[in-house]
Chain A
């Protein structure tokens, strides 16, 4: 479903600050795969997501979605295939528009927008039904501005907006990191439910080891722009947070040895 081949990306190339963010990364996701991505700051996780989404363009390598080469497409052109939830709960919604207007915009993902009314009664009925499943009480607040919602409610809404038009790929960029533990747990649960319900092929970046182990059927660890660990469903089910930390230390130690040898 998603194929990333030999992607390289260097920030500030040719300067003293040059930093390799992605170093020949290749990754393949089968339809319905739910891959969690962990790694330290600067490991290239978010860059990888941005390269898939098209907000960043890789220096070399290709990105294919469902067999289609999207490497040269801009972010809004790829958006028809990709749903996205950001870390900042404010990023995924338009604050001064109503809940139903936000949902109506999301429903038109990738379609040619015309002069039909954005919110109709038929759509309202569907929105109410979808919102009820979130259990946030939003189904009675269709006409409220999104800026009135709490961070958790906004992120739940962002998640629904990113997914209910059933994109081919779902990208989650630390989407629970800015929430308090209770809300984070709720959004994590909703994520699992929604991905399962729509059978979405998902790539999720997280800092939370437990979450990375709990969600999804595959786990990859990144370090200095490379994928250093790739666990399939079976290996992942046996892995613990402690084990992951040990792997992490090992990778870091290796990297340190490398640099000492040079």
Chain B
């Protein structure tokens, strides 16, 4: 269970990246499956070749940003549909990742990584390490929320919300998309780098389904906490990531086949996307909204009679 929470907190970094594109820029970016592995590969190869782990991890982040930039350029300069641009980069990255690693799997078992101190002190899966990973997730969360309230951040949010409007105030929306995709995939790659060190290897297939896990985290978390403000929405993503890993952990514990996990993830996301549109649910939603407005409009002292 603690391991699941820990994993959820690490994967939250990736989920925050997905949140940035999917919710803020309104762009379903499939680069993620590739850039996650890119981050893992760069970190693993860097560490194996004797680089300090922190440096290798930073390089992984830059590699992810470059990948996001490629998708962004395909989409803005090349006028390629966003989904297709992401898929093209993702597929291209498969070869790039193999080139980086030179083989399909790079083990880190006897290497010194960012996680080694935790492993040496035998803290993995304890409150101490959960606390550490929580701290990392909270710092990245806080930075992201702060960024989204700066002048650039506001322009980025408006790019996803009403591009014509923000262009009429002098913002180049193409630049905002490039920046958002780069930041998002930087976070995704950073997460890949940490996961590689955590599990002790980088593997060419480790990114498969990452986008679905990321979307699941965003959707589940925001179904629980809502998204009435950026701070709440982003916090919900971290919570969603933890919930997602805990649900998977419980499902496995209940005896489900690990090979079915991707199918279950996909079904989970489909349900989370479809159920809110169903009539009964919509009525319930409407009822809730009416209640909320009624609550907001009702004077503090009820009128008599």
Whether A115 and B169, one on each chain, are in contact in the complex, defined by CB atoms closer than 8 angstroms, is no
Q: Which residues in window 227-257 of B have CB below 8 A to A? A: none
Once A91-B162, A105-B166, A119-B149 are accepted as A-B contacts, the answer to whether A76 and B172 lie under 8 Å apart by CB is: yes
Kindly state whether residue B298 has any CB partner on chain A within 8 Å.
Answer: no
B70 to chain A: closest CB distance in Å?
Answer: 23
In the assembled complex, the CB of A123 is this many whole angstroms from the nearest CB of chain B, namely: 11
Judge whether A94 and B158 touch: CB under 8 Å: yes
The segment from A11-19, A106-114, A124-132, A228-236 that touches chain B is: A106-114
Contact with A along B114-149 (1 / 0, CB 8 A): 000000000000000000000000000000000101
Cβ of A24 under 8 Å from chain B? no
Residues on A with beta carbons closer than 8 Å to the beta carbon of B282: none
Question: Is B81 on the interface with A (CB-CB < 8 A)?
Answer: no
Asked if A118 contacts B171 (CB within 8 A), the reply is: no
Residues of A within 8 A of B165 (CB): 91-94
B150 at the interface (CB under 8 A from A): yes
Alpha-carbon distance between A184 and B152 when the two chains are bound, in angstroms: 34
Min Cβ gap B150→A in Å is 5
B147, B149, B170: which has the most chain A beta carbons within 10 Å? B170
Q: A84 touching B168 by the CB < 8 A rule?
A: yes
Query: How far, in Å, is B212 (CB) from chain A's closest CB?
Result: 24
Contact A76 B152 (CB under 8 A): no
Check A95 against B161 for contact (C-beta < 8 Å): yes
Nearest CB on A from B172, distance (A): 5
Distance (whole angstroms) from the CB of A69 to the closest CB of chain B: 18
Q: Known: A76-B173, A79-B167, A79-B170. Contact between A116 and B151, CB under 8 A? A: yes
Q: Which of A40-48, A96-104, A214-222 contacts B (4 or more CB under 8 A)?
A: A96-104
Asked if A114 meets B168 with Cβ closer than 8 Å, knowing A94-B161, A97-B157, A105-B155, the reply is no
Could you tell me if B168 and A97 are in contact, using CB atoms closer than 8 angstroms? no
Residue of B nearest to A108 (CB): B151
Residue of B nearest to A74 (CB): B172
How far is the CB of A119 from the nearest CB of chain B, in Å?
Answer: 7
* Count, chain B residues at interface, CB 8 A: 22
Contact with B along A79-90 (1 / 0, CB 8 A): 110111010001
Task: Give the interface residue-count category, chain A.
Answer: 35 or more
Q: Given A76-B173, A109-B170, is A97 in contact with B158 using a C-beta cutoff of 8 Å?
A: yes
B150 and A116 contact, CB distance less than 8 A: yes
The verdict on B153 contacting chain A, using a C-beta distance below 8 Å, is: yes
**CB atoms of B171 and A113 under 8 A apart:** yes
Neighbour of B168 across the interface among A92, A104, A111, A118, CB < 8 A: A92
Q: Which B residues are CB-close (under 8 A) to A114?
A: 150-152
Task: Name which residue of chain A comes closest to B171, CB basis.
Answer: A76
Interface centre among B147, B154, B158, by most chain A C-beta atoms within 10 angstroms, is B154
- Which residues in chain B, 155-193, are within 8 Å of chain A measured between CB atoms? 155, 157-158, 161-162, 164-173
Q: Which residues of B contact A122 (CB under 8 A)?
A: none
Q: Say whether B152 contacts A113, CB under 8 Å.
A: yes
Taken together as a complex, chains A and B put the C-alpha atoms of A94 and B189 apart, in Å, by 31
Question: CB distance B169 to A109 under 8 Å?
Answer: yes
| Cβ–Cβ < 8 Å partners of A105 in chain B | 151, 154-155, 158, 166, 169, 171
Docked pose: A68 CA to B169 CA in angstroms: 19
| Chain A proximity of B227: nearest CB distance (Å) | 9
Q: By the criterion CB–CB under 8 Å, are B167 and A94 in contact? A: no
Instruction: Please report the C-alpha to C-alpha distance between residue A115 and residue B151 in the assembled complex, in whole angstroms.
Output: 6
- Residue of B150, B162, B170 touching A94 (CB-CB under 8 A): B162
Beyond A114-B151, A117-B149, A117-B150, whether A106 also contacts B169 by CB under 8 A is yes
Residues of chain B with a CB closer than 8 A to A2's CB: none
Q: Does A23 sit within 8 A of B, measured CB to CB? A: no
A118 to B158, CA, bound (A): 13
- List of B residues within 8 angstroms of A117 by Cβ: 149-151
Give the CA-CA distance A15 to B162 in the complex, in Å: 33
Query: Known pairs A113-B151, A114-B152, A118-B150. 12 more at Cβ < 8 A?
Result: A76-B172, A92-B168, A94-B161, A104-B151, A105-B166, A111-B170, A113-B150, A113-B155, A113-B171, A115-B147, A116-B151, A117-B150
Of all A-B residue pairs in the complex, the 7 with the closest CB atoms, nearest first, are A79-B170, A113-B151, A94-B161, A118-B154, A110-B170, A94-B158, A94-B162
Residues of B within 8 A of A (CB): 147, 149-155, 157-158, 161-162, 164-173
Query: Interface on A for B, CB 8 Å cutoff?
Result: 53, 75-77, 79-80, 82-84, 86, 90-97, 101, 104-106, 108-111, 113-119, 161-162
CB<8 Å pairs between A and B, sample of 20: A75-B168, A76-B172, A79-B168, A79-B171, A93-B165, A94-B158, A97-B157, A101-B154, A105-B151, A105-B169, A105-B171, A109-B169, A110-B169, A113-B150, A113-B155, A115-B150, A116-B150, A117-B151, A118-B150, A118-B154
